[in-house]
Structure 1
Amino acid sequence: MTNRFTKWNIRNAIFRRLHSEPGISNNLAVLIGIFTGLTIVAYDICLKYAEGVFWNGGVSGQYYVIFIPAIGGLFVGLVTHLYKDLKRCNVAEVIEGTALHGGRIRIREAFREVFLSIISISTGGSVGKEAPGILAGAGIGTIFAKTINAPDNRYRIFLGCGASGGIAAAFNAPLAGVVFVVEVIFGELETRTFIPIVLSSVFATLVANLIFEVHPIEVSYYGFVDPIRESGLYLVLGILCGIASVILIRTLYITHDAFRTIPVHPAFKPAIGGLFVGIIGYFYPQVRGIGYDVITEVLANNFTLQLLLILLVLKILAFSFTIGSGNAGGSIVPSMFVGAMLGGAYGTIVHQLFPATTAVSGAYALVGMAATLAGTARAPLTSMLILFELTKDYNLILPLMFACVVSNSISNSLHEESIFTEVLKRRGFTIRRGKEINVMESMLVRGNMRNDVHTISMNDTAKDLLDLMQSSRHAGFPVLDENKKLRGIVTLEDMREKVKYGELDTNIRDIATLEPVVTYPDESLDVVLKRLAMKDIGRLPVVSRTDETELLGIITRSDVVKSYNKEIVKSVREKEAKK
């Protein structure tokens, strides 16, 4: 009888555990991981088939290879134009969905981007496939959350489960998948989300490996020759990789801005970017596509110093043309490619200088891959783990740690945002590490200020100011000198006494506040509102950080309130639409 009751109690305990909130999350995490793994496998099959169609077994050296990336870009541009109601998305949208929208992303947008990435990569676009994997996984997690009508707190968990499974299956790196979500997507470690993310990552990797043996990059064994001397050399490599990662980020967004100004219909811009990639790829086909095979060759010490340096520069350009023009794909593998070229070149030089006390160039290429990724993604732990899981070599842990931490620090000091969050900052959001951020903290001045500013000259009179107030219906104006430089601000309160006593010929310079309180385009609305309240004023001129006399715009208390209300309404509507 006792045994029967014991078995009954155990069964009840197991049943309650499985049907508790953590139990349900864990069970669904396993399913999300399985479906994500299957999706990554299907993605790889489609990608290989499409590459076979477009390249027909290899056509390098033929002049028409120039046009294959352009054809892919044209297809991407036309599909994007035909479905204008769907926004383009990438890892940045997953981060935004986690930080601002309760873990929700638009499923149709995510899977359209996955489809477009197959076209971009298979036609020679110089991008990676890990971002589509993250989007596919995040989309699957969102589908599961919608299917069970999950509460808000589980949407975020399931999105993280899918994202971790996507990157884990792509690299055969379950630990890196978990840490990527914690480090990049969530920005923090939460105990209630950790176990589901681990389960999803493990099962996605298992499924992908059961069907395909996932070994994206073949890595040789490397080790130290002289640990003390080589540690210093790897630190220098970390500095170089940090600088290279900033160059990569800035080149990408400079190219993006340049394509926005081209007077061509947006549907054709990806084709133009593809044409540039095709021209580069005609002379150096190594920069086309994902580039796993090229990285493997570099790690095997098969490239000359000259070729490594050429590919370093051309990969940055080809990647920037691909993404900057509007094609689809990821930035993780291109970052690793750039790091491999830089590390390989650096390793070649130091090995020639110190042949008896340094490892071969492939070891430096391997560390360069991780360090450059750490700098672009601001994810040093993820970078270390991806390379460690690829190599299974404990001897490289120390140089990986040195180089990744140094690269991350250098990159962060030279450029505030990562390759993912830069696009969000340009939209007026500041995504900070931690829990879901305050709306006011996430919105920047540049996205909410008025650019068409009414101004008044220091040489004008109170009468001119009164006329301007009546015509513009504003109560305050920046004061400019004869060189159009900001010198102060004048408001209705400043001239009230002059109007009262009829002194309308008084010069503006005599009634204006000549040391105005200002704000900057990259400050948050939270800071602006506090500054307005502390000074008891209604408006702030927006000026350049490098030149505080350069007027860029103006922002008022009512602008801040309107922007806040608009964002709250938008957030509520998005949550309702995604239920």
Structure 2
Amino acid sequence: MSSPILFAPRGPLADHSADRRMLLLAAAALVVGTGGAVGAWVLLKSIAIATNLFWFGRLSADPAAITDNALGIWLVAIPVIGSLIVGLMARFGSDKIRGHGIPEAIEAILFGESRLSLKVALLKPLSSAISIGSGGPFGAEGPIIMTGGAIGSLFAQSFHLSAAERKTLLVAGAAAGMTAIFGTPMAAILLAIEVLLFEWKPRSFVPVVLAVLVSFLWRPLLIEAGPLFPVHHALGLSPLLVALALGLGVLTGAQAAVLSSLLYKIEDLFGRLPLHWMWWPALGGLVVGLGGLIDAHVLGAGYDSIRGLLDGSLATRVAVALLLVKATVWLVALGSGTSGGVLAPLLLLGGALGFLLGQFLPGGGALWALAGMAGILSGAMRAPLTAALFAVELTGDFAMLPLTLAASAGAYAISVLVMRRSILTEKIARRGRHVLQEYTVDPLDFLQADQVMTPAPETLPDDMTVAEALAFFDAEDRHRSYPVVDGEGRLTGLLSRSDILRWRLDGAPVAASLVEALSDASQPSGTPSDPLARIADLMVESGSGRVPIVDAETRQVVGILTRHDMLKVRHLHRTLERERSQRLPS
């Protein structure tokens, strides 16, 4: 690469087809957003029905608290029965209903062309309702993300959309479902960006926002209006509180790392059992039932306990039980492969740690429960912005955003230092797939051909004979290929060593000119203003490792780009990220 690389801005390329696709997806998102909201309503009602049936023997869709049951020691059997049903559904229905929900959605997006089946859309909420309703220590967010995603994916498949468009609607449905459950539209959008989309494009951002807004508008009609856990802390933030929040974030980040490590160790232990995986959830349910005997607050999603942590009404004894017993039953149950989400349990565990530490910190336990919730979500999911905003949207206390942001940053920093992957992507990695949760700009997308090409390359005249070309390539230090130009320097083709070898083997007429002998005179070429990504596409499509660069108006050859030049760009980009220098610009 003989010319320097200049990092210069470039105006956007017009793509009217992309604009039309965005409008099409935006219209579809209105339907998907409604589907996500209805799916959330169905899931919550299903959980309520399952709770009433399992714990109180009545058919009702009204909310019920598991802690009000009077089963005594017999409550141990309820989680076992529910988990056994889930295991049977996974074995004879679809094994994709097992697990958190979010990792399965990520895997479908990255490796499954964003295709989810109708069977998953139906069985995932049903299995999760049975699991949570029978006392499983899970939240509804993972299942609704999977269910809402399935709604978006199925809608896209019905209209034969592309994989990228299916991904957009899958994520739109997932974000819509989360919005309906928690009433956190901004956090749902950020979750889509930080965890699910793996891109930042208008094509995906606009439909996701529209789906979330539609779901948010449906929520007061279907579920309830306002924050899920309305709390207001009449406390002004100070540098001390923000610093303490940063410290708490470090602790919750470490807590997230320990929980993630233990979860997958437990999963490995289940994998060594001489039993079919269908029976594992029942064993996990037994542990859940025993935990419920210690304290019934560890059973179910635990939204009442979250509310108690955030308003400061929860007893310290219960907070200790949540921190220790809830962690145990959640890890064992999730490691057994049953169906349920991770957000609500993480909120409880991080909130309990913050609540207990808050007994010794200024502001009280409720304030630090909020910071702990933000911290553990950030550390476990590697989604710091989502976690910071999710905590304040849950309460409606946006004045506490600096506090939750500090906790999220502290937890995120510790998480990336001590954990190789998040609690979500570790599950995918254990299936042999690597997921990178870092957003970077590909240098091939923002560098242009004239910033990297070799200018004024050596060319061959198109009236050169085959015999002269054979003699030319017999000389030493020849490149693999050369642009062929007419008398005015305009591109007519590309002569490569493979052409020379073919001519030698086939006995091409030595008196013929290059313009007559070349098999493909419509040589792909680029222009100086083309992004390198387009040149790379040309290389793949043509099978050529060298692409001539021509003036857009005259077609005269002004440069050439090679595959090696592309690799140099990537290498230089990584070098600039890693190498340090103290040299000041002159």
| Fold-level similarity (TM above 0.5) | yes
Counterpart position of 1:452: none
Contact 1:225–1:359, Cα closer than 8 Å, also in 2: no
For the 8 Å contact 2:243–2:406, the answer to whether it is kept is: no
Provide the residue aligned with 1:283 in structure 2: 294
The match for 1:547 is none
- 1:128 is matched by which residue type in structure 2? G
Q: Aligned ranges for residues 348-497 of structure 1 at < 5 Å?
A: 348-350=359-361, 358-433=362-437
Please state how far the C-alpha of 1:364 moved relative to its aligned partner: 0.5
Query: Which residue number in structure 2 is paired with residue 54 of structure 1?
Result: 54
- Write the distance in 2 (CA, Å) between the matches of 1:376 and 1:67: 31
Larger radius of gyration: 2
Counterpart residue number, 2:117: 106
- CA–CA distance in structure 1, aligned partners of residues 88 and 331 of structure 2: 20
> Unpaired segments of 5 or more residues in structure 1?
1-15, 351-357, 439-579
What's the CA shift string for 1:261-302, capped at 9, x where partnerless? 122332221111101100011121111000010111122222
Q: Could you tell me which amino acid in structure 1 is paired with residue 274 of structure 2?
A: P
How far apart, in 2, do the equivalents of 1:261 and 1:128 lie? 27
Q: Which residue pairs with 1:93 in the alignment? A: 104
Cα deviation, 1:133-181, whole Å, max 9, x if unaligned, reads 1011110111111111112321111111111111111111111111101
Q: Is there any run of 5+ residues in structure 2 with no aligned partner, and where?
A: 1-15, 57-63, 443-586
Q: In structure 2, what is the equivalent of residue 74 of structure 1?
A: 84
Q: By how many angstroms is 1:23 displaced?
A: 1.9
Contact 2:121 2:146 in 1 (8 A): yes
Within 2, Cα distance between the matches of 1:216 and 1:124? 25
Structure 2 CA distance, aligned partners of 1:81 and 1:173? 34
Q: SS of the counterpart of 1:359?
A: coil
Moved over 6 A (4+): 16-19, 434-438
Question: How far apart, CA to CA, are the structure 2 residues paired with 1:389 and 1:121?
Answer: 24
Equivalences for residues 70-469 of structure 1 within 5 A: 70-83=80-93, 88=98, 90-213=101-224, 217-224=228-235, 227-350=238-361, 358-433=362-437
Q: Which residue of 2 aligns with 1:29?
A: 29
Rounded Cα–Cα distance in structure 1 between residues aligned with 2:329 and 2:121: 24
Shift of 1:50: 1.2
Which residue in 2 is equivalent to 1:38? 38
Evaluate the alpha carbon distance shift between residue 60 and residue 335 of structure 1 in structure 2; reply closer, same or farther with a 3 A threshold: farther
Structure 1 CA distance, aligned partners of 2:261 and 2:438?
26
Q: TM-score, normalised by structure 2?
A: 0.67
Q: Which amino acid aligns with 2:420?
A: E
Q: Secondary structure at the match of 2:322?
A: helix
Residue 260 of structure 1 aligns with an amino acid whose one-letter code is G
Structure 2 distance, partners of 1:87, 1:291, is: 22
C-alpha displacement of 1:127: 0.6
Distance change >3 Å, CA 78–CA 404, structure 1 → 2: same
Structural RMSD (CA): 2.4
Residue aligned with 2:279, SS: helix
* C-alpha distance after superposition, 1:321-345 (max 9, x if no partner): 2111121000011111101100100
Amino acid at match of 1:362: A
1:503-550 alpha-carbon deviations (Å, 9 max, x no partner): xxxxxxxxxxxxxxxxxxxxxxxxxxxxxxxxxxxxxxxxxxxxxxxx
| Larger mean Cα displacement after TM superposition, 62-71 or 73-82 | 73-82
Q: Structure 1 residues 299, 392: CA separation in 2 closer, same or farther (over 3 Å shift)? A: closer
Partner amino acid, structure 1, of 2:410: V
How many angstroms does 1:183 deviate by?
Answer: 0.4
Distance 1:309 1:248 in 2: 16
Matches of 2:184 and 2:225, distance apart in 1: 10
Range with greater deviation from structure 2 (136-145 or 263-272): 263-272
* Residue pair 1:73, 1:120 contacting (<8 A) in 2 also: yes
1:34 counterpart letter in structure 2: T
- Whether contact under 8 Å (2:291, 2:326) holds in the other structure is no
CA distance in 1, matches of 2:411, 2:377: 9
Aligned to 1:467: none
CA contact (8 A) 2:231 2:310 kept: yes
- Identity, in percent, stands at 30
C-alpha displacement at 1:215, in angstroms? 5.7
Q: Which segment drifts farther, 59-68 or 305-314?
A: 305-314
Q: Secondary structure of 1:202's match?
A: helix
Q: Does 1:20 align with 2:20?
A: yes
Deviation, structure 1 residue 106: 3.5
Deviation at 1:88, TM superposition (A): 3.6
Instruction: Give the TM-score normalised by the residue count of structure 1.
Output: 0.68
1:162–1:200 contact (8 Å) kept in structure 2: yes
In structure 1, C-alpha distance between the alignment counterparts of 2:96 and 2:348, rounded to whole Å: 31
Q: How many aligned positions are there? A: 416
